[in-house]
Structure 1
Amino acid sequence: MAESDGIPREPGAPHADPLGDPFLRTRFALPARPATFLRRARLVHHLDQALVTPLTMVNGAAGAGKTLLVADWAAGLERPVVWLTLDPSLRGPGMFWAHLLQALRTHGVPVAGDVGTPADAGRVHHTLLTRLAAQLGTDELTVVLDEYDRVGTPEVAEQLEFVLHHAGPGLHLVLVTRTEPLLPLHRYRAAGAITEIRNAELAFTPEEAVALLRRHGLRLSVQAATALVERTGGWAAGLRLCALAAQQHPDPEEYLKEFEAGHSTVADFLLAEVLKRQPPATQDLLLRVSVLDRFCADLANELTGRGDAEAILAGLHRENAFVEDLGHGWYRLHPLFREILRAHLRERSADLEPRLHLRAAHWLGRSGQLPETLTHGAAAGEWDFTAGALVDDLALGQLFTGLRTDHLADLFSGMDPEAASPAAELVRVARDLARGDLDHALAGLGPVRERLAAEGPGTAAVRLGCALLEALAARLTGSPQRAEEAVRAARALQHELPAELLDKHPELSALLLTHLGSVRLWAGDFDEARTALTTVAGTTTGAATALPRAESLELLALIDHLAGRPATAERKAAAALAETERFGLADGAGSGLGRVVLAAAAVERDDLAEARALLDRTPGPAVHDPVTAAGRSLTTARLLLARGRTRAALEAAEPAVPAAVRSPWQHLHTTLVASAAHLAEGRPDLATKVLDQVGGEQPGLAVAAARARLAAGDPGGALRLLDPGGPVRGGGPAVLVRATLLRAQAAHTAGDTATARRLVVQAVAEARRERLRRPFREAGPWVEPYLAAVPPHHPPADAEPPPVLVEPLSGREHDVLLRLAQMMSTEDIAADLYVSVNTVKTHLKSVYRKLAVNRRNDAVRRARELDLL
């Protein structure tokens, strides 16, 4: 008689479950291994780690060999093993724990009488769990729950986690499952307390496939087995089916070498043994969903026109009929079975496949699943629909983020020329811009703009897409007014679009501001450019804006370089490269400007070999823009000047950079290169002449003019230009060091060695902070005696060494650090990153360890010292 709390009064092992049905002994028996079973040492070795971690998960698809692997391993253990095979009838907590308790008793594990047994199939009292946890784990014990995914309800998972957490260290739980269990796996992973074997590891290697086939009496070379493994994905059941089919073939080895899924006895076997044994409605469903990578019941119903998919799919999954449960109501066919079904579908009804793709595309579009919508729309050949889906979702910018650029370009590469909707025209222009075909893009953008003006405003999404492309076109043609107009239009349109749709695509604003900042930079409006670019560089929206962030950092680095701040420029350029590497973007995804700036900084350090190597490693930009072209040509020219190749430097500094307006800084720095070249050839008059044509009071221009006048024998004129209260006052360290050295040279020429010595010491002190060497090379031989007299630099004995990051932060740790700097709480960080608070705490501990600090404020301070923020 059971108490109301669900614990029976009578202790001892029951002979029936809470429903009164007898326990089935087969649920507690280790599965038998067939004669053709192949023990794989690498997996057995990995499973041995289960003996030192409290939790082990063997997670793989149906037919992956999970159960036989664990059963064979468990049979060889010299310690108690409890085996329980689960099924859907044990979903209730009371049923689950009653069977687990019976499994313990069946395998000889004593269970104290006061633990009790659940009397209610649907629930279990907390007292039972507490008493069981207190008893388990005092001695070494391994518990295997096979097919755990069949009963992995949240309530059972929580109870199982409670027992595992509170049991003694001797308890080791092994879960054999097709899906991830509803347990806090992140905590076990963070603590190193879980052993995991997943589908990819369960797949057979070519060598293992050879050994498996040999057990079936078949011989195949490793090379031939490699192709077979690729076709089957190393799937254990697929390989055994191939072996079965090959045994019926007159030349088994030749059959396995030339195996084709759609036209083989394996296909015949699967069609006969799996497809044709199903009712007609199920056969029809399987053939139709074979066009999908994954599907749910509603999507399957859309393709069949019926409403019975949920029950059919659940039944197929239960029967292991090559339908894998992905969780949350989604399924997929095993790749080999899907390939066979698709071939069969084409043979039976060739015209049905595109119609199925189109139905799927419309359903997926309504469900907000854009990538799959585009894939199926393209497969259906409905290009106006597909382009419209991309543009209406505001995803046109993804062609320029580096993450899906190649995929989208490939997807739309086969677009029918007859597709003539505004969205299709925009996609064509975007595709041309993404691959650097500026002429075709500009030729296509004009008609789109005119069409939208003539036919009415069109949808806000189409107009916003057009504004984005106009902004990029303005950047690539160096057209500031066009860029400002495009960004103003885009900002106005954003008020007409749903906020949640805009929030889904942060790359739009990031791309627009990056293009605007680049054009402002080209026009010489550094302050406004810095405002736009700093906004993008400071975003924390993850991979979607990684490329715009990197490009903005590169452009900010160029501004610092042009202002004579090489160390600051170098840090930002390095941060830009780190951003692209962090998100796995291709080396040529950005403009390449970051390495150009690093090369320019290397020239200032007089590391000419490094500068050349950086320029050689700079990939050609996917899209040629004038800022990068000018930056590269000027850096190349400076490098050639440093090597004494004046004629080549002049040629390198003056390439034709097509742009709507002339860039003042490009003109200025090209002139500075020309002036330096003339001085190097002993022609100060020509150097002065070219500088006089520029005009203005730029710090760099004043220093160059002073150098030319000093070379021409006019130290007074040079010193007037170098007056600390004059134009040089606003220059960066590289400018000021050169100005100081020129004043020192004037003093040296006048015989004032004391002043010259003082100024050289001052220049050296400033240069050390920026690691500048090139200005001293440029100064000439007169400076060498003064440099020799400068005392060596020794930091104070009690000075702290510069911080060094011994172990780099992971991408997720960097995300946490960024939010830490924004004064976000642990809870806010967890919510922003969609992780648990415990996960954030784990990352914080790792950040503190790597930065050698113990507090939040110290972590942020140290991160800033290391230029991590």
Structure 2
Amino acid sequence: MAASVDPLGDPFLRTRFALPARPATFLRRERLVKHLDQALLTPLTMVNGAAGAGKTLLVADWAADLGQPVAWLTLDPAIQGPGMFWAYLLQALRTSGVPVDDDIGFPADAGRVSHTLLARLAASLADRDGGRVVTVVLDEYDRVSCPTVSEQLAFVLHHAAPGLRLVIVTRTEPLLPLHRYRAAGAMTEIRNAELAFTPEETVALLELHGLRLPVPAADALVDRTGGWAAGLRLCALAARQRPDPEAYLKEFEAGHSAVADFLLAEVLQRQPPPTQDLLMRVSVLERFCVGLAGELTGRTDAESILAGLHRENAFVEDLGHTWYRLHPLFREILRAHLRERHADLEPELHLRAARWLGRSGLLPEMLAHGAAAGEWDFTARALVDDLAIGQLFTGLRSDDLTELFAGMGPEPASPAADLVRVARDLSHCDLDPALARLHHAEERLTSDDTDDTEAAGRLSCALLQALAARLAGSPKRAEQAVRAALELEREVPAQLLEKHPELPALLLTHLGSARLWAGRFEDARAALGTVADSTAGAATALPREESLEHLALIDYLDGWPTRAERKAVAAMTETERFSLPRASVSALGRLVLAAVAVDRNELAEAEALLDEANESAPHDPVTAAGRAIATARLLLARGKARAALAATERAVTADTASPWERGHAALIASAAHLAEGRPDDAAEVLRPVAGEQPTCAVGAARAHLAAGDADTALELLDVIGAEADTGPAVLVRATLLRAQAAHEAGDLATTRRLLARALTDARRERLRLPFLEAGAWLGPYLAGAPLRELAAGWFMPGSASGEPAPLMVEHLSGRELDVLERLAQLMSTEDIAADLYVSVNTVKTHLKSVYRKLSVNRRGDAVRRARELHLL
């Protein structure tokens, strides 16, 4: 179903899709119409001329007589950003009768649009029934300031061929690959020089205004105005008020440096004082209706004045539904006049407009005018009273609101202003100042001597408290904040809550994240699942993404990599579907995918995902911990044990670390100790946490087995699997350790049986790393049937000779890598010893360990194998 509102939630205005009406004084110029007919033969047409050159009416007149539907879109400053642009273009197509498939999609964010939407739209236009061509006119394209829109438009135009005919009406040359179309003869152009009126056309235009001018005088007028259509029109309007129009037309430019400034000033001065006052006052508005104009002027006849100005084509455009706007150039000059004549009036007009817009429920425009008036307490109160403070965190209007309140200084002291400052701090994860301000705002909101005790303010405060608790890693405070919010929701009008589905979604997301940090996985799932399963659309897309990401992390921590992968991918799809800005999107999903990729030994993919995730600052402790764990596991997989230890050092020493963060940090430290040949240290570091999580018990068992204590290792493994939801990533490692214990005990049949089980379980999840971590003892087993068949294809592809590829075994220590690098440089044992400042015997010991871990017996084989494994 097509959307009925634009990405900002405003209804589409029909006048943006309607061909502009031709006034009674419009002059049809056949030479230009014939040139435009060439547009029927080329995919791209550009009508490029100065402001007021007559471009729009020329194309509108041509399109009206074309005899086929035309999708018309008039652009303006409100249609900014890729998402807004494509939303309006899709609506223009629908308005003109062009069928637009629902599966093309609809951008929900004004600032972004997905590439998938563009590709589907281009394919739909290119594959029209009967080869019918769609003609699209983009009027005032120079209002598009975003280069991305032009890039996207060029993509659609190229791939929609030959089903799309595009006509661009613009003041400036668009950022499209025009040179290619020119070189191919696939472009029709009408430029400024051709748009200029000839003397004969000027005579005809003036006659339509009731003025007669000889051709020689018209020739001089064309010379002075450059044939500028708006200049001629304004000149004619001004001349009609003069006793000697011909004399006026001869001297109008004298003493002026800019024709436009002079003409617009003359038009304004010719209006009655009430009209002049109205025009100057409404010049502070992007758009206005009769009621708003009356609010700013105190007049009751604004409707008749505006209707008259529109009929006269006096730079007042009718947007429909009694809404108007001034021609942008005219508005700019009027604002300059306002500031010159009434320097102190503009802030007052903005405040009046803000109050009227607030009463009319137009919050975004109300906030903009409140900020322009410098009334920050008023503006902040409006945001809080509407329960819209959560929109600072949803990605849809976050950037706009952040920019809007960027100008608010320290002076406003209301609780609402404090809450906005808190929201601004928390959006940047600046916790300390946020907590101080939040405490101050809460005290004032609950005091008996303040008027700011409305439920909306206290509910907004509870939302911010929940977020602050999440960022601080305090589940208790998060629970308290959510309980308070649920109580306060009863005091808020239902229709106000219905306007803001993001508020309960954000509350539960913050609660779920805090519970996850505390290690309360089931409680976290309950809160996060409620949000993830909701279908409230774009308003809750970001909370849904974060909830899915957190659920993915829980699955990963429980040892279910495929489940985690599905949820993480679904999370990213959620925000991409609504083209949310990348800066608003969390990195946690990519971190989970990176960790899963490490378990599958897809290290290049893991590194790429980590690089993407590192573009965003951590949203909360959960994300920070996820980043540390994924980074450390990648470093371990690459044999960089010391760097892995450094990546998780904070979690090992911090008192506020999450239990699962501490557990995984201990696992990484234990693995690092094992890689450095210190099994006792590996077991010791896991001793405090071995009983807390199944994965920690497996890590402790691995350490004890490496230390030669098989009995303790098996005792630890006996508890694995007792929990119903223990995942394959844990069970496969546990099974491999049992197999290793059986191997060391000489029980070959049990070893093969356990390895077969581990391979079967790992195959479904593509878990390669546990086998690579297990050690060289696996090689002979996997080289023989039937285990080779179980490993073939997904883990151990055959070589050209049909023999299985060698396994990566235990990770090399840092010193072993140093020795290996010098080995590759053909250095002798003595040279390596001298270069590393160690004894020759020490080098020989390291070489034996390198050979064992790489499953080779000679120097050359070690270097070749290391290169196969990208260790060199």
TM bracket (short chain):
0.5 to 0.7
- Deviations along 1:267-297, one digit per CA (max 9) or x if unpaired, are 2212313x23333222222111111111111
Matched, 1:65 2:55: yes
Paired residue for 1:715? 710
Say which SS state the counterpart of residue 332 (structure 1) adopts.
strand
Q: What amino acid is aligned across from residue 69 of structure 1 in structure 2?
A: V
Task: Tell me: CA distance 1:405–1:792, structure 2 relative to 1, closer, same or farther (3 Å).
Answer: same
Counterpart pick for 1:636 among 631, 634, 638: 631
Paired residue for 1:670? 665
Paired residue for 1:202? 169
- Deviations along 1:186-216, one digit per CA (max 9) or x if unpaired, are 6644595753323233224438999314764
Paired residue for 2:12? none
Whether the aligned pair in 1 keeps the contact of 2:475 and 2:515 (CA below 8 Å) is yes
Whether the aligned pair in 2 keeps the contact of 1:62 and 1:324 (CA below 8 Å) is no
Q: How many Å apart are 1:451 and its aligned residue?
A: 2.4
Counterpart pick for 1:401 among 371, 394, 400: 394
Matched, 1:269 2:263: yes
Q: Which moved more, 1:465-474 or 1:206-215?
A: 206-215
Q: Write the mapping of 1:98-117 to structure 2, written as runs, cut at 5 A.
A: none
**Separation in structure 1 between the aligned mates of residue 744 and residue 266 of structure 2, nearest angstrom:** 99
**Separation in structure 1 between the aligned mates of residue 257 and residue 462 of structure 2, nearest angstrom:** 51
Q: How many residues are paired up?
A: 634
Q: Write the mapping of 1:386-425 to structure 2, written as runs, cut at 5 A.
A: 386-425=379-418
Task: Tell me: CA distance 1:542–1:726, structure 2 relative to 1, closer, same or farther (3 Å).
Answer: closer
Identity of aligned residues (%): 60
Matched, 1:212 2:205: no
Q: How many Å apart are 1:597 and its aligned residue?
A: 0.9
Q: How many Å apart are 1:34 and its aligned residue?
A: 7.0
Task: Tell me: CA distance 1:35–1:775, structure 2 relative to 1, closer, same or farther (3 Å).
Answer: same
Counterpart pick for 2:553 among 551, 558, 563: 558
- Deviations along 1:337-396, one digit per CA (max 9) or x if unpaired, are 211111111111111111110000000000111100100001111111000000000011
- Deviations along 1:319-354, one digit per CA (max 9) or x if unpaired, are 222222222222211222211111111111111111
Q: How many Å apart are 1:63 and its aligned residue?
A: 7.7
Q: What amino acid is aligned across from residue 481 of structure 2 in structure 1?
A: A
Counterpart pick for 2:480 among 468, 479, 485: 485
- Deviations along 1:759-811, one digit per CA (max 9) or x if unpaired, are 22221121121111111110111112222332546999xxxxxxxxxxxxxxx
Q: How many Å apart are 1:309 and its aligned residue?
A: 1.7
Counterpart pick for 2:296 among 287, 290, 303: 303
Paired residue for 2:471? 476
Matched, 1:593 2:533: no
C-alpha root-mean-square deviation of aligned residues, in Å?
3.9
Q: What amino acid is aligned across from residue 272 of structure 1 in structure 2?
A: E
Q: Which moved more, 1:680-689 or 1:583-592?
A: 583-592
Whether the aligned pair in 1 keeps the contact of 2:600 and 2:767 (CA below 8 Å) is yes
**Separation in structure 2 between the aligned mates of residue 186 and residue 795 of structure 1, nearest angstrom:** 57
Q: What amino acid is aligned across from residue 479 of structure 1 in structure 2?
A: S
Q: Write the mapping of 1:355-370 to structure 2, written as runs, cut at 5 A.
A: 355-370=348-363
Task: Tell me: CA distance 1:238–1:458, structure 2 relative to 1, closer, same or farther (3 Å).
Answer: farther
Whether the aligned pair in 1 keeps the contact of 2:645 and 2:669 (CA below 8 Å) is yes
Counterpart pick for 1:606 among 601, 607, 619: 601
Whether the aligned pair in 2 keeps the contact of 1:323 and 1:334 (CA below 8 Å) is yes
Q: How many Å apart are 1:217 and its aligned residue?
A: 10
Say which SS state the counterpart of residue 557 (structure 1) adopts.
helix
**Separation in structure 2 between the aligned mates of residue 148 and residue 610 of structure 1, nearest angstrom:** 43
Task: Tell me: CA distance 1:264–1:380, structure 2 relative to 1, closer, same or farther (3 Å).
Answer: farther
Q: How many Å apart are 1:546 and its aligned residue?
A: 1.4
Task: Tell me: CA distance 1:694–1:659, structure 2 relative to 1, closer, same or farther (3 Å).
Answer: closer
Whether the aligned pair in 1 keeps the contact of 2:72 and 2:136 (CA below 8 Å) is no
Counterpart pick for 1:574 among 569, 572, 593: 569
Whether the aligned pair in 2 keeps the contact of 1:596 and 1:631 (CA below 8 Å) is yes
**Separation in structure 2 between the aligned mates of residue 420 and residue 326 of structure 1, nearest angstrom:** 39
- Deviations along 1:169-192, one digit per CA (max 9) or x if unpaired, are xxxxxxxxx999999646644595
Counterpart pick for 1:437 among 425, 430, 454: 430
**Separation in structure 2 between the aligned mates of residue 62 and residue 40 of structure 1, nearest angstrom:** 18
Whether the aligned pair in 1 keeps the contact of 2:53 and 2:196 (CA below 8 Å) is no
The alignment's TM-score, normalised by the length of structure 2, stands at 0.67
- Deviations along 1:458-489, one digit per CA (max 9) or x if unpaired, are 11111111111111110111111111111111
Q: How many Å apart are 1:68 and its aligned residue?
A: 2.6
Q: What amino acid is aligned across from residue 494 of structure 1 in structure 2?
A: E
Task: Tell me: CA distance 1:541–1:465, structure 2 relative to 1, closer, same or farther (3 Å).
Answer: same
**Separation in structure 1 between the aligned mates of residue 283 and residue 227 of structure 2, nearest angstrom:** 17
Task: Tell me: CA distance 1:73–1:661, structure 2 relative to 1, closer, same or farther (3 Å).
Answer: closer
**Separation in structure 2 between the aligned mates of residue 34 and residue 184 of structure 1, nearest angstrom:** 29
Whether the aligned pair in 2 keeps the contact of 1:522 and 1:663 (CA below 8 Å) is yes
Matched, 1:506 2:501: yes
**Separation in structure 2 between the aligned mates of residue 367 and residue 458 of structure 1, nearest angstrom:** 24
Q: What amino acid is aligned across from residue 432 of structure 1 in structure 2?
A: D
Say which SS state the counterpart of residue 417 (structure 1) adopts.
coil
The runs of 5 or more residues in structure 2 that have no matched partner are 1-21, 46-50, 75-88, 102-123, 142-167, 175-187, 199-224, 236-255, 794-872
**Separation in structure 2 between the aligned mates of residue 656 and residue 600 of structure 1, nearest angstrom:** 17
Q: Write the mapping of 1:622-771 to structure 2, written as runs, cut at 5 A.
A: 622=617, 624-655=619-650, 661-723=656-718, 727=722, 730-771=725-766
Q: Write the mapping of 1:174-253 to structure 2, written as runs, cut at 5 A.
A: 185=96, 188-190=99-101, 195-199=135-139, 200=141, 201-206=168-173, 211-213=191-193, 216=196, 240-241=229-230
Say which SS state the counterpart of residue 413 (structure 1) adopts.
helix
Task: Tell me: CA distance 1:782–1:758, structure 2 relative to 1, closer, same or farther (3 Å).
Answer: same
Whether the aligned pair in 2 keeps the contact of 1:471 and 1:516 (CA below 8 Å) is yes
- Deviations along 1:506-536, one digit per CA (max 9) or x if unpaired, are 1111111111111000000000101111111
Matched, 1:142 2:67: yes
Say which SS state the counterpart of residue 318 (structure 2) adopts.
strand
Say which SS state the counterpart of residue 395 (structure 2) adopts.
coil
Task: Tell me: CA distance 1:553–1:147, structure 2 relative to 1, closer, same or farther (3 Å).
Answer: closer
Q: What amino acid is aligned across from residue 28 of structure 2 in structure 1?
A: A
The runs of 5 or more residues in structure 1 that have no matched partner are 1-25, 50-60, 75-82, 84-140, 150-177, 219-235, 247-261, 797-869
Q: How many Å apart are 1:46 and its aligned residue?
A: 6.4
Say which SS state the counterpart of residue 404 (structure 2) adopts.
helix
Whether the aligned pair in 1 keeps the contact of 2:641 and 2:672 (CA below 8 Å) is yes
**Separation in structure 2 between the aligned mates of residue 556 and residue 144 of structure 1, nearest angstrom:** 50
**Separation in structure 1 between the aligned mates of residue 438 and residue 706 of structure 2, nearest angstrom:** 53
Whether the aligned pair in 2 keeps the contact of 1:357 and 1:379 (CA below 8 Å) is yes
The alignment's TM-score, normalised by the length of structure 1, stands at 0.67
Counterpart pick for 1:33 among 29, 32, 53: 29
Say which SS state the counterpart of residue 319 (structure 2) adopts.
strand
Whether the aligned pair in 2 keeps the contact of 1:179 and 1:325 (CA below 8 Å) is no
Whether the aligned pair in 1 keeps the contact of 2:392 and 2:402 (CA below 8 Å) is yes
Counterpart pick for 1:316 among 299, 306, 309: 309
**Separation in structure 2 between the aligned mates of residue 657 and residue 337 of structure 1, nearest angstrom:** 66
**Separation in structure 1 between the aligned mates of residue 54 and residue 43 of structure 2, nearest angstrom:** 16
Q: Which moved more, 1:202-211 or 1:531-540?
A: 202-211
Q: How many Å apart are 1:32 and its aligned residue?
A: 2.8
**Separation in structure 2 between the aligned mates of residue 268 and residue 510 of structure 1, nearest angstrom:** 56
Whether the aligned pair in 2 keeps the contact of 1:700 and 1:728 (CA below 8 Å) is no
Q: Which moved more, 1:330-339 or 1:200-209?
A: 200-209
Task: Tell me: CA distance 1:147–1:189, structure 2 relative to 1, closer, same or farther (3 Å).
Answer: closer
Paired residue for 2:865? none
Whether the aligned pair in 1 keeps the contact of 2:469 and 2:514 (CA below 8 Å) is yes
Task: Tell me: CA distance 1:714–1:556, structure 2 relative to 1, closer, same or farther (3 Å).
Answer: same
Task: Tell me: CA distance 1:216–1:238, structure 2 relative to 1, closer, same or farther (3 Å).
Answer: closer
Whether the aligned pair in 1 keeps the contact of 2:196 and 2:228 (CA below 8 Å) is no
Paired residue for 2:848? none
Q: What amino acid is aligned across from residue 298 of structure 2 in structure 1?
A: G
Whether the aligned pair in 2 keeps the contact of 1:47 and 1:195 (CA below 8 Å) is no
